[in-house]
Amino acid sequence: MKLGSWNVRTLNTPVALQYVLDTVKSYKIQLLALQEVRWPNKENMTLFYSGTDNGAKENGVVISCYGPTEEKEDEKKDKFYEELEEVSDRLPKRSIKIFLGDFNAKIC
């Protein structure tokens, strides 16, 4: 399975979504986690989209995250990772867990 994670910065332009879809097709990505989509949303909700051609519910649980940057206070970073661990702990033990996202790591 080909996985990907992409901080798209915004999909709030006319051609941005098509560019993402074309890229996914080009690289044959089967599962993509997007960060910073920035679609207008007046209801403050989270969008999850998935599916298979045969309607089967498979491939485990995917968590997509956008972590705080290094410049944020330690308290905010600690809280983010504590919440991420709490979410992971609540998932069924038998589920395959895949974490994708922009964890804002910096490689020196």
Domains of the chain: total: 1
Residue 21 lies in a domain: yes
Residue 49 lies in a domain: yes
Domain range for 19: 3-102
- pLDDT confidence of residue 80: 92
Residue 18 lies in a domain: yes
DSSP SS3 for 82: helix
Residue pointed to by tokens 């600690």 = 78
Residue 108 lies in a domain: no
pLDDT band of 34, cuts 50, 70, 90? confident
Q: Answer yes or no: pTM beyond 0.85.
A: no
Task: Tell me the pairing of strands 97-102 and 61-66.
Answer: parallel
Residue 107 lies in a domain: no
- pLDDT confidence of residue 62: 80
